[in-house]
C-alpha cells in the first residue's frame, strides 16, 4: 500500500480512502449493498480490474464485506461494514462543501437519482425541521425517476432510504440540482412540492441554518 508516511490522522486516513474511486464506492454502498455489476454500471469510467482491486483493498482495510448470495440475487454483494459506514459524516460534509461547485448544473456529467439520497441527508441532518414534524417525505428525481423517502420526527430527518413512500404527506419532484437547492433552503421554481404537509415542509427548510 502506498502511504504518505506521515504520523497524522488526515494522512493516515487518506492512506486508506484517498485513492481514486474509493469514496465513490463508499457513496454507492451507503445507498444500498450492491453487486459488482451494479457498482460497475454506476461508476462508468472505472476499469473492471481497478474496481476489483479497490474492493479487495477496501475489504482488507475493513471498510467492505462480501455477503454470500441470497435469493433472488444469484451472486454475492458488497456492503459496508460499521467502519465503512462511519465515513457517512465525512461524505455528507463533502456534499455540503461542494454546493458552490454544483450550481452550474450537471452539463455533460452523469446523473444518478440515488446520489440525491446523500444530498438529502447532508443538507437536512443539521436542520431544525420542527414545523414539518410527523411528515413523511417522498422525493422523485426527474433525471431517472429514482424515488427516495424519509420521515421527520422531533425536528430531524429520520429513516432516509431509497424507495417510495405510499403514505407520503410531502411529495417533492424535480431535477437533482433543484432538489438540492430546496434542501439548502432555496425556493427554486423548477421543483414541485405537493401534499398535505407541503407548506409545512417549505417553511421548515426555509428556516434551516445556512
**Cell 434542501, residue?**
183
**Candidates 3.30.1050, 1.10.3470, 3.10.450, 3.30.70; correct CATH number of 91-206?**
3.30.1050
Which residues touch 46 (CB under 8 Å, ≥6 apart)? 21, 40, 54
- Is the CB of residue 150 less than 8 Å from the CB of residue 179? no
- Is the CB of residue 169 less than 8 Å from the CB of residue 135? yes
DSSP state for residue 76 in the 8-state scheme: -
- Is the CB of residue 15 less than 8 Å from the CB of residue 28? no
| pLDDT confidence of residue 207 | 76
Which residues touch 50 (CB under 8 Å, ≥6 apart)? 21
| pLDDT confidence of residue 209 | 56
**Cell 504520523, residue?**
7
Query: What's this model's pTM, rounded to 2 decimal places?
Result: 0.92
Domain ranges of the chain: 9-85, 91-206
| pLDDT confidence of residue 119 | 94
| pLDDT confidence of residue 31 | 94
Residues of the chain with pLDDT under 50: 210
- Extract the runs of DSSP E, i.e. beta strands, from the chain: 64-67, 77-80, 136-141, 147-153, 156-162, 170-174, 191-194
CA distances from 27 to 43, 84, 91, 147 (A): 11, 10, 7, 17
What sign has the CA pseudo-torsion 156, 158, 162, 167? negative
Q: Which of 28, 115, 43 is nearest to 78 (CA)?
A: 28
Which three three-digit cell numbers place residue 154?
422531533
Burial 136-146 (b: 16+ CB within 10 A, else e): bbbbbbbbeeb
**Candidates 1.10.8.60, 1.20.1260.10, 1.10.10.10, 2.60.15.10; correct CATH number of 9-85?**
1.10.10.10
Amino acid at each position: 500500500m502506498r502511504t504518505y508516511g506521515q504520523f497524522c490522522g488526515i494522512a493516515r486516513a487518506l492512506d486508506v480512502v484517498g485513492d481514486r474511486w474509493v469514496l465513490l464506492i463508499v457513496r454507492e454502498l451507503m445507498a444500498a449493498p450492491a453487486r459488482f455489476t451494479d457498482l460497475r454500471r454506476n461508476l462508468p469510467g472505472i476499469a473492471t480490474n481497478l474496481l476489483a482491486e479497490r474492493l479487495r483493498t477496501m475489504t482488507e482495510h475493513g471498510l467492505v464485506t462480501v455477503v454470500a448470495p441470497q435469493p433472488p440475487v444469484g451472486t454475492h454483494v458488497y456492503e459496508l461494514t460499521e467502519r465503512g459506514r462511519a465515513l457517512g459524516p465525512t461524505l455528507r460534509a463533502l456534499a455540503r462543501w461542494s454546493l458552490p461547485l454544483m450550481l452550474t448544473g450537471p452539463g455533460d456529467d452523469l446523473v444518478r437519482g440515488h446520489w440525491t439520497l446523500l444530498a438529502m441527508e447532508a443538507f437536512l441532518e443539521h436542520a431544525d425541521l420542527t414545523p414539518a414534524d410527523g411528515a413523511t417525505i417522498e422525493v422523485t428525481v426527474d433525471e431517472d425517476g429514482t424515488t427516495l423517502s424519509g420521515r421527520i420526527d422531533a425536528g430531524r430527518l429520520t429513516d432516509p432510504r431509497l424507495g417510495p413512500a405510499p403514505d407520503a404527506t410531502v411529495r417533492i419532484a424535480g431535477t437533482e440540482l433543484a432538489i438540492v437547492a430546496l434542501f439548502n433552503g432555496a425556493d427554486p421554481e423548477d421543483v414541485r412540492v405537493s401534499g398535505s404537509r407541503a407548506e409545512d415542509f417549505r417553511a421548515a427548510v426555509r428556516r434551516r441554518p445556512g
